[in-house]
Amino acid sequence: MKIIVQKFGGTSVHTPELREKAALKLKEAYEEGYSPVAVVSAMGRAGAPYATDTLISLAKNEYEHLDSRNLDILMSTGEIISAVIMTQTLRKLGLKAVVVTGWQAGIITDDRFGDATIKRVDTKKILSYLEKGYIVVVAGFQGASEDGEITTLGRGGSDTSAVILGLALEAEYVDIFTDVIGVMTADPRIVPEAHILEGLTYTEAAEIIQQGAKVIHDKAMNIAREYRVPLRVRSLNDEGKGTLICDIRSMSKEGLRLFSQDRTVYSIAFRKGLAQFRVKLNGKKEDNLLMFQLLANKGISIDLINLFPDIVAFVVEEGKALRVKEILEKEGFELTLIYPCAKISLVGSGMADRPGVVADMVEALRESKIEILQTSDSHVTISCLVHAADMEKAIQVLHRKFQLEDIC
């Protein structure tokens, strides 16, 4: 039995037309000889009647305090509704289909409500349905603890459900359907001439995703990378097979290029909604430790850290900027706050061993009169911080500078 897991996010199932497209992808897989398992998210995003955020607002608008156990029970219903409707859509097409909740699918978690970790998967029920010729539709984002308490898996939970089920079922592929045709050289909404990257190693894909490409949640990506679960990032609106994410040996069998072998830069990712802090240290080395401890104790993550003798520069999410400002000023730190900002990352391979990448980046942005607020680099990325208003132009300029339109 060749099993395939196909995950459909909220934007892929929130209208009857989109649900039918999703159902046709499952039918296509079935006709190709696969035994399909669908994993679905709640339908739509905030504001849609059955979206997770809408359900949360419904309760919190009535009751200020909602305990985590009750909240998980509430949040799990969005995916269950979606799974039932998707099952009926498949049946309308003449296919045998059955719906199962996360716990019926055998997903056993710890008892941490709101951000549970999957401990194991009992696949007996799913396999029994597949053996009878059913397409199994699983409500994503959820499971149950050993003592039967309903739990949810946190951000990206449906992606996590799909990858874990793919691992447990030894699936040929886990397909992640999203609103782009695959992992691209840049966001095609910003760079119309962006190209699809037909094959990526786990390391290459993980770096692009970590730097901001929203094609699969990074938690799910990390699981896939650790356990070598083959992923395909695909689109409902495209007949192609998208981007295959796998190991080098599998890429070779598929006849796909390893971009990191022949290109310094092969993708541009970005994160927006950021704020930059420049904090004066007054010549005290101990200020470094105090500042970082203060933020860590408040659960605030920082990025793009640059240390100088008299100043520290770093970035936080824009929504946390005023809180960080208050924390640091209360301790007497002098600071400059700049926002909104965006982080743009050139993703490639062996950046440290290939001179001239930073120089080319700086030259391209300066010629376009785009101010660089901060930079950082690693073996596989070079990142720069710019004003949010300059983000799209900067991505377009860098895409041309590094000739990513020539990737094929």
Q: Which H or E run contains 323?
A: helix 321-330
pLDDT digits over 264-280, tens only? 888 999 999 999 999 98
What CATH number should be reported for the domain holding residue 52? Answer: 3.40.1160.10
List binding-site positions for ATP: 7-10, 178-179, 189, 214-215
List binding-site positions for substrate: 52, 79
Residue 322 pLDDT: 95
Query: Does 351 or 247 have the greater pLDDT score?
Result: 247
Mark which of 259, 282, 312 sits at the end of a domain.
Answer: 259
List binding-site positions: 7-10, 52, 79, 178-179, 189, 214-215
Q: In the predicted model, what is the mean pLDDT of the chain?
A: 91
Strands (E) located in 252-310: 265-280, 303-307
Mark which of 221, 240, 259 sits at the end of a domain.
Answer: 259
Query: Does 325 or 407 have the greater pLDDT score?
Result: 325
Residues 57 and 136 in one domain: yes
Alpha helices (H) along 104-214:
124-131, 157-168, 202-210
Residue 407 pLDDT: 74
Mark which of 242, 259, 276 sits at the end of a domain.
Answer: 259
| Structural domain boundaries enclosing 105 | 2-259
| pLDDT at 56 > cutoff 90 | no
pLDDT digits over 391-404, tens only? 999 999 999 999 99
pLDDT digits over 122-174, tens only? 999 999 999 999 999 999 999 999 999 999 999 889 999 999 999 999 999 99
Distance between CA 21 and CA 400 in Å, rounded?
Answer: 34
Residues 254 and 272 in one domain: no
Split at pLDDT 50, 70, 90, the class of 117 is very high
Residues 248 and 391 in one domain: no
Residues 293 and 161 in one domain: no
Buried b (16+ CB within 10 A) or exposed e, 64-99: eeeeeeebbebbbbbbbbbbebbbebbeeeebebbb
Residues 360 and 243 in one domain: no
Cα end-to-end distance, the chain, whole Å: 34
Residue 60 pLDDT: 81
Residues 243 and 315 in one domain: no
Split at pLDDT 50, 70, 90, the class of 292 is confident
Q: Which H or E run contains 90?
A: helix 68-92
Total count of domains within the chain: 2
